[in-house]
Structure 1
Amino acid sequence: MRVVIVTESFPPDVNGVAHCALQTVRHLTARGHAPLVVAPAPAPGTPAAAEVPCPAVPLVHVPSLPLPGYPQVRVALPSRRLVTALTEHRADLVHLASPFVLGVRGMAAAARLGIPAVAVYQTDLAGYARTYMGAGEAAAWRRIRSVHSAADRTLAPSGAALHDLEAHGVPRVRLWPRGVDTVRFRPGRRDAELRRELAPNGELLVGYVGRLAPEKQVELLAGVCGMAGVRVVIVGDGPSEPGLREALPGAVFLGRRTGDELARIFASLDVFVHTGPYETFCQTVQEAMASGVPVVAPAAGGPLDLVAHGRTGLLVPPRDAAAVRDAVWSLAADAQLRAAYGAAARTAVEGRTWEAVGEMLLGHYAEVLAARSVVAA
């Protein structure tokens, strides 16, 4: 099968869309399919080695500009390279990863060329509009509905996301969750030396991993920073970092970490906290669970599918700093409870490998192609 993956983000970017697109490419290649990736060009000066994470897979870069106020995000400019890529690759199917700008053009090109398209919903644009503009949710949903309604199938990463899409009139929605690397992220990565470095006085390590941006609401950890015997560890970068350094006194900011180094940090935590209420899935929650770490997360969006309250972690009301603090406190006070939650969390994700999720995706592709064949006949 010849598949063109049109993605709004791809490595060296570090985010959920980029990571999922990369894992999709790897699975398609391993199964003998022929993927091609179309993505915004990385920032000028990016090392050549980082630009091509899959040397065996063709990668077409479309000219891009940094998003104003958030330079880590690149926005694709209009370009003929997209249509050329679809045509020259002789695509059987177009996979649109979180279509917003480049993906919208990819959907239009697929429609013109008569190529089936699968759209993967990954970003809560309505939530972002509310966070950054204080309005615009209705307009965001109109755009989402317009793009996804044109696709042969929309894939939602969680039950909450699927319900939102259907409630706003998006047709042909199916569930497609995310995988996790259970070999890289595992309890055995726990590192005593790293723990001594981060908590020299034996403090309980409470961590957050992700973008440092307004929609993530990392400032909700302020109450945890004030707890005796607790050290907050922040992994990631983004526009909110300067303000968060002031809002979270005593927290350790490690910047962006990836790969085995990130896995070592995850496994060395005692509690993982995610604070953002707009997650359509929340990959970092799943990576923490694979690392055997109990999770505190908002009872909203993707975490509702991932965290079994009172068994693998604790769900708290969204945007509630006191609830976050109290949940961390209850886990900090009970080492046996933390161990039980962590073990149950690891067990819960052991079957959620990227290989298993990749096979599910191929099943969706096959159904879309079969439906098109019936219509054509």
Structure 2
Amino acid sequence: MAIVTESFLPQINGVANSVLRVLESLKAGGHEAMVLAPDDPKGVPSHYLGFPVHTVGSLPLPWYTDFRVATVTVATLERKLAEFAPDVVHAAAPVLLGRTALIAAGRLGLPSVALYQTDVPSYAVRYGYGLAESAVWRHMRRVHEMATLTLAPSSFTMGQLLDHGFPRVGVWGRGVDAMRFQPARRDEHLHATWAPHGQCVIGYLGRLGAEKRVSDLAVLDDIPGTQLVVIGDGPQRDELREQLPHAIFTGAKTGDELPRHLASVDVFVHPGELETFGQTLQEASACALPVVAPRRGGPIDIVQEGRTGHLYTPGDMTDLHDSVARLVADPVLRHRLGQSARLTMEPRTWPKLCSQLHGYYLQALSMTRRSAVVAA
């Protein structure tokens, strides 16, 4: 496998996280792999699990500095892929580097699986480039048309792609580490430091960026007996501190601290409306937390209304407020929904999901071989 990704370590995000899990599954299965990723001034590891990691030159996007724009030619990637001779090329969230890799794979006759993971057109709108949305959709469709298969992370996103004319689309979700994220990680002492008077702790975990709409949580400020805790970091941190003056900001958490902090809240809320999947919603559910999220995108496949949490109408702040207020007022309901959420996550293991992905690899390989026979 050649894994070509727009984001890799040291970045910590949904794209990089899923690539790491895929590499772990390839290692466990005895497969060979290599990684192609943009370089990063913070330093990219040269190997992961013994697999070589090759970097290419890149520049940060001015409006989204965490995203690196690769500056590499098709000929260079064609040479790197030819030297490794993979059976399949896996393009994680292809935009620029992934596009170049898909062109190179096509020239070499290699099958490819492209994972649509980031709602780039909607991000452009959210960051003030609304006039570019149609052009971005056209670009993304042209990129994915080059892939043997495109995999969407949720049924909602699959529908979006089909509506915009993307061909050969399937669905591949994401796994969750239910051992790392579990209710036993809850730290009552930590909870007490946040809520010394027994308040119900409302928690958010994720990047502090405009696309996550964390400022929407200000509408929860008047719910009595609550304390908002924001776990994460990002470019909007200082702005959000002003908009959410009563919230506790913990900063970014990693390692064992991440599940400890997440499991120690009482209600998990994620107001972002551009989630193609929503990994933090799965992690919160695995910690037996009821989840409140917009009825759009990936959360539709994760949150079961009235059983594991609540889905509110996107943009409806009253609906968001009332959904959270109901859970705050009813600890029995919180417990029941949280326990159900935990049960729904237990089967969603990374090994199971990666096994499904390996099936898509074989399907792409078979499709390419059939095409070659027909062409001959």
TM, length-normalised to structure 1 = 0.95
Aligned to 1:77: 71
Quote the residue 2:120 is aligned against: 125
Q: What residue identity is the alignment partner of 2:156?
A: A
In the alignment, the residues of structure 2 paired with residue 51 and residue 69 of structure 1 have an alpha-carbon distance, to the nearest angstrom, of: 26
Is 1:138 the counterpart of 2:134? The answer is yes
What corresponds to 1:93 in structure 2?
88
Question: Aligned partners of 1:274 and 1:33: how far apart in 2?
Answer: 37
Who is 1:4 aligned against?
Answer: 2
Question: Alignment partner of 1:259: what SS?
Answer: coil
| CA contact 2:47–2:53 (8 Å) conserved in 1 | no
Contact persistence 2:290–2:341 (CA under 8 A): yes
Partner of 1:249: 245
Partners of 1:303 and 1:148 lie apart in 2 by: 24
Shift of 1:257: 1.1
Q: Evaluate the alpha carbon distance shift between residue 228 and residue 68 of structure 1 in structure 2; reply closer, same or farther with a 3 A threshold.
A: same
Separation (CA, whole Å) in 1 of partners of 2:47 and 2:156: 32
Between 1:129-138 and 1:175-184, the stretch displaced more is 129-138
The Cα of 1:288 is off from its aligned counterpart by 0.5
1:180 correspondence with 2:171: no
Closer, same or farther: CA 52–329 of 1 in aligned 2, 3 Å: farther
Query: What is the CA distance between 1:53 and its match in structure 2?
Result: 7.2
Amino acid at match of 2:68: R
The 1-side partners of 2:293 and 2:310 are apart by: 7
1:69–1:239 contact (8 Å) kept in structure 2: no
Tell me the distance in 2 between the aligned counterparts of 1:351 and 1:30: 19
CA distance in 1, matches of 2:31, 2:336: 41
1:72 and 1:163 mapped to 2: Cα distance? 28
Paired residue type of 1:324? L
1:315 to 307, 311, 317: 311
Deviation at 1:69, TM superposition (A): 3.8
1:102 matched residue in structure 2: 97
Q: Which among 52, 63, 66 is matched to residue 58 of structure 1?
A: 52
Q: Alpha-carbon deviation of 1:176?
A: 0.6
- 2:109 alignment partner AA: G
Instruction: Give the 3 Å change call, closer, same or farther, for CA 81–262 of structure 1 in structure 2.
Output: farther
The question of whether the paired residues in 1 share the 8 Å contact of 2:27 and 2:49 is answered with no
- Partner residue in 2 for 1:289: 285
Give the aligned residue type for 1:253. Answer: F
Pairing 1:236–2:227 present: no
Q: Secondary structure at the match of 1:71?
A: strand
- Counterpart contact for 1:180–1:286, Cα < 8 Å: yes
Q: 1:42 to 1:320 in 2, by over 3 A?
A: same
CA distance in structure 1 between the partners assigned to 2:52 and 2:245 by the alignment: 46
2:217 is aligned with 1:225? no
- TM-superposed CA distance for 1:196, in Å, is 1.6
2:35 counterpart SS class: strand
After superposition, the C-alpha distances for 1:89-143 in whole angstroms (9 at most, x for unaligned) are 1111110000011111111111111111110010111211221123322111101
Given the alignment, which residue of 309, 325, 329 partners 2:325? Answer: 329
Rounded Cα–Cα distance in structure 1 between residues aligned with 2:349 and 2:165: 31
Unmatched runs of 5 consecutive residues or more in structure 2: none
**Matched AA of 2:151:** L
Specify whether residues 36 and 53 from structure 1 end up closer, same or farther in structure 2 by C-alpha distance, changes over 3 A only.
closer
- Secondary structure of 1:272's match? strand
Residues 21-30 or 70-79, more deviating = 70-79
Contact kept, 8 Å, 2:46 with 2:52, in 1: the verdict is: no
Deviations 1:185-210 (A, max 9, x none): 11110111111222222221111111
Give the secondary-structure state (helix, strand or coil) at the position aligned to 2:174. Answer: coil
Q: Structure 1 residues 58, 208: closer, same or farther in 2, change over 3 A?
A: same
Q: Which residue of 2 aligns with 1:345?
A: 341
CA distance in 1, matches of 2:326, 2:76: 54
Output the amino acid matched with 1:165. Answer: L
Distance 1:53 1:213, change over 3 A: farther
More divergent stretch after superposition (155-164 vs 59-68): 59-68
1:153 aligns with 2:149: yes
* Alpha-carbon distance between aligned partners in 1 of 2:82 and 2:251, rounded to the nearest angstrom: 41
Partner of 1:18: 16
Identify the match of residue 27 of structure 1 among 21, 25, 40.
25
Give the Cα–Cα distance (whole angstroms) in 1 for the partners of residues 46 and 268 of structure 2: 31
Tell me which amino acid in the other structure corresponds to 2:51.
V
Amino acid of the residue matched to residue 160 of structure 1?
F
Q: Greater shift after overlay, 137-146 or 61-70? A: 61-70
Secondary structure of 1:232's counterpart equals strand
The answer to whether structure 1 residue 116 and structure 2 residue 111 are counterparts is: yes
- Classify 1:376/1:73 alpha carbon distance in 2 versus 1 (closer, same or farther; 3 Å): closer
Q: Confirm or deny: 8 A CA contact 1:70 1:238 kept in the other structure.
A: no
The DSSP-based 3-state class of the residue aligned with 2:324 is helix
Residues 254-280 of structure 1 deviation map (CA, whole Å, 9 limit, x = unaligned): 111122211111111100001111111
RMSD: 1.4
Q: Does structure 2 retain, via aligned residues, the 8 Å contact 1:281–1:301?
A: yes
Structure 1 residue matching 2:258: 3-state secondary structure = helix
In the alignment, the residues of structure 2 paired with residue 98 and residue 342 of structure 1 have an alpha-carbon distance, to the nearest angstrom, of: 31
CA distance in 2: counterparts of 1:38 and 1:369, whole angstroms:
20
Deviates more, 1:330-339 or 1:366-375: 366-375
> What's the counterpart of residue 358 of structure 1?
354
